[in-house]
Amino acid sequence: MKLYDGGKIIAGLIIFFFLVTFPFFLNIGKVNAKPEPKIDTPEIQKLAEKKCIESKAFMRAEHMKLLNDWRDSAVRNGERTYVNSKGKEFTISLQNTCMHCHSNKKKFCDECHTYMAVNPYCWNCHIAPKEKES
Amino acid sequence: MSMDRRQFLKIAGISTVLGLGGASVMRGVRGSEAEASHVMTNEKALTAKRWAMVIDVSKFRTEEEYKRLIKACHSIHNVPDFGEPKDAIKWIWTDTYEHTFPTQPNEYMGESVKEKPFVLLCNHCANPPCVRVCPTKATFKRKDGIVMMDQHRCIGCRFCMAACPFGARSFNYKDPRLALKPEDENKEYPTRTIGVVEKCTFCTERLSKGLIPACVEAAREIAKETGTEPGMYFGDLDEPGSEVRKVLSACYTIRRKPELGTEPSVFYVIGGEKNA
């Protein structure tokens, strides 16, 4: 059996292979960079107990739901105090409570959200904390 | 394999029960912390059955004093000033007697009333037409009578603006942040965004901290500085001993467009030169 224009075909196939796999090469090393939200803000450093509103596992999985509950509770029911599962009280506020501790939005919230390609529209209205150089 | 009807129902029944059981176990695991927590009103919060306001326009002497009330409100709520009437966002503003009480004027009215600016804000009606027309319940009436806006639900349809007979609502035709300097923003309160409607909220966020509305506070400050009585009162309409009820029983008051039956919660004492 004879392959006509074999050189061209094989060269073409090689070029085709690199073109198709190009995105994978381009992203080598990048995709695997897992998000590492930083909790080293001055506000959190000052805490005696470096704890969030609820446990870390709960916050990680449920913070969007918690924020929705907070929003309805404050705006619709006028209830602006949250008592957590340990009985500790927090003022219900995205800007004044969450972002007071997590004053590094870019290195914390955005770190995960960019990775997960979620883009909460909250910041169209809620004023994000001023990023400090670190 | 064949199955008769009885067998099928048994298996279906058992798997439903198992499924439900599984779901409740999962809820128990995931929701445990949320269930152990709860929300409540602040202990310091000011509360009422029906919040109301009385504005005694005879107590305000200059346009400057009104500007202070407006600034007090607009600065803490990040209300932008585009400098152009067509883009204006207003929570509290002034207008003439004729526009405020259009069915009242007579041609012999004295200059002191005719030319006087009146301070206006959302009337927090007991029977609010804006609430009735809102398709998403973004505008709703709270238990304490405040007609509140939930910006998160506003879709910008502007039915509420058409329904409100008092022009108390403004639409964000532009991104409000274009007209707000970052250094002037109140970082503790959100802005709004292009495409939503906004208005006065009787300072619900302040009430929950035990503070009176910002405009009333400003009116009290002005009174203290000039050694006079404040021109704004705030209190519970359902409480006979409240500040507003005292003024209402002592003075003749009027409300805007009462014939429409919306039952405003904002009352005006007009006064005139003799009482001033």
C-alpha B214/C-alpha B76 separation (Å) is 8
CB A54 within 8 A of CB A66: yes
Q: How distant, in Å, are the alpha carbons of A26, A68, A123, B64 from that of A84? A: 45, 16, 25, 47
Cross-chain CB nearest to A83 (options B37, B188, B191): B37
Total domains in chain A come to 1
Q: pLDDT confidence of B274, banded at 50, 70, 90?
A: very low
Instruction: Evaluate if residue A20 carries a pLDDT over 70.
Output: yes
CA-CA-CA-CA dihedral for B44, B50, B51, B52, to nearest 10? -160
Average pLDDT, chain A: 90
Q: pLDDT confidence of B275, banded at 50, 70, 90?
A: very low
Tens-place pLDDT, residues B8-20: 888 888 888 777 6
Cross-chain CB nearest to A95 (options B41, B140, B190): B190
The answer to whether residue A112 is domain-embedded is yes
Which helix (H) or strand (E) covers residue B170, if one does? strand B170-171
The answer to whether residue A55 is domain-embedded is yes
Instruction: Evaluate if residue B32 carries a pLDDT over 70.
Output: no
The answer to whether residue A2 is domain-embedded is no
The answer to whether residue A13 is domain-embedded is no
State the CB neighbour count (10 A cutoff) for residue B35: 11
Checking ipTM against 0.90, whether it exceeds it is: no
Instruction: Evaluate if residue A100 carries a pLDDT over 90.
Output: yes
DSSP string for residues in A20-67: HHHHHHHTTTTTT---------HHHHT-SS---SS-HHHHHHHHHHHH
The answer to whether residue A29 is domain-embedded is no
Q: Which residues of B touch A74 (CB under 8 A)?
A: 208
3-class secondary structure, B118: strand
Interval B184-201 mean pLDDT: 96
3-class secondary structure, B239: coil
The answer to whether residue A98 is domain-embedded is yes
> Does A77 reach chain B within 8 Å, measured CB to CB?
yes
Q: Rounded to a whole number, what is the distance in Å from the CA of A3 to chain B's nearest CA? A: 56
| Domain residue ranges of chain B, discontinuous segments joined by + | 1-39, 40-273
Instruction: Evaluate if residue B83 carries a pLDDT over 60.
Output: yes
- Put simply, the chain A residues between 48 and 67 with a CB less than 8 A from any chain B CB are 54-55, 58, 61-62, 65-66
Instruction: Evaluate if residue B28 carries a pLDDT over 60.
Output: no
CB B52 within 8 A of CB B244: yes
CB B236 within 8 A of CB B50: yes
DSSP string for residues in B215-228: HHHHHHHHHHHHTS
Q: pLDDT confidence of B31, banded at 50, 70, 90?
A: low
What is the domain extent for residue A76? Answer: 35-125
C-alpha A59/C-alpha A44 separation (Å) is 16
The answer to whether residue A30 is domain-embedded is no
CATH number listed for the domain at residues B40-273 = 3.30.70.20
The answer to whether residue A40 is domain-embedded is yes
Output the pLDDT for position B130. 97
Ramachandran class of B29: left when φ > 0, alpha when ψ lies in -120 to 50, beta otherwise: alpha
Q: How many CB pairs under 8 A join A and B?
A: 84
